Amino acid sequence: MIDERRLVSCFLDLVRIDSPSGHEHEVGEHVMGMLRALGARVERDALGNVFAQLDGRGEPLLINAHLDTVVPGNGVQPVLEGGIIRSDGRTVLGGDDKSGVAIALEAVRAAQEQSIALPPLDILFTVQEEVGLKGAKAFDVTRLRAREGVGLDCGGPVGTVVVSAPSQDTLEVVVHGVAAHAGAAPEKGVSAIEVAADAICHMRLGRIDEETTANIGVISGGQATNIVCDRVELRGEARSRSAQKLAEQTQAMVAALHEAAARRGVSADVQVNHEYTAYRLAPEEPVLRLLAEAAAEVGIEPSYVPSGGGADANILNAAGIRVANFSTGMDQVHTTHEQIAVADMVRAAEWLLACLRLRAGGCA
């Protein structure tokens, strides 16, 4: 029921269009043209999110994916070999998340061609997902008719469904030291680098427990080797599927910074930003029942898993739209070894098509 050749062609066209976060205009225009060809009402909001609607029967359903990719993502040259699509090794492939976009478009097109009834569809392809879910945060969710939805932004074996994801806090830090000549009078200075190192050494980082992680990802500072460094900037994060654990981890990281600064008689400015909120889907959620019924129809065994990362689904669930992400088959994402199997994309598209038909009241 899914046209494999057309699905692959659509995906290859998408990944060849440069769309690093913040530069999604061209790919958005391309996708809008495809949505209009499906008869959808299509528009872009001020940030560039592509929003489309199709009429149908039954309860509305949201389909969500994102248009942007991580870097290095310009000049992607996809290679199709042995049923596997990969990059040529110089860039990411962009299957995260153009596989989701291509699968969504193919499922709708296949339904229309085969006169399969569709539910009313809200289709949201966001921008800047990879840099803090900015597109989803900016989108006016009151425009959505759907109260449930499926996201196509997950890796792992086809059948994987994300049923919970963490909250995230980010830390933006400036550690202040005291400058001095490193050769003539180092004792008059206080190295902000030493203070930052002291603070980091007193933090628990990496895998804290099964629900919680933390990381210092960026550190910069200093001007020359003969100057005691008086300013260091840090950026870090903490994530947890438990609100209490996240608060405790974030507070511990902040405390480590202030205490290290106090030990040397200097200061640290720390700004904590709450990026997104955790969600957890219960087994009885209508969207999970829909996915399970559709999976049974196409011979897929669902696997319900927690995630360690955020996605548009975090923002949508926080707004009351119950969204479950399921796997498109993408593998080794955010690396130059990224790849995806054509067979997995086809299976994911079949799964989505079954969801659409069942949502519209169809039967096996």
Burial of residue 204 (CB within 10 Å: 0-12, 13-18, 19+) is middle
User: Alpha-carbon distance 251 to 256, whole Å?
Assistant: 9
Q: Which are the catalytic amino acids?
A: 68, 129
3-class secondary structure, 344:
helix
Strands (E), the chain: 41-44, 50-54, 61-66, 79-81, 84-86, 121-126, 148-151, 160-165, 167-176, 206-209, 212-221, 231-240, 267-276, 279-280, 303-306, 322-326, 339-341
DSSP string covering 192-249: HHHHHHHHHHTS--EEEETTEEEEEEEEEE-S-TTB---EEEEEEEEEESSHHHHHHH
Chain length of the chain: 364
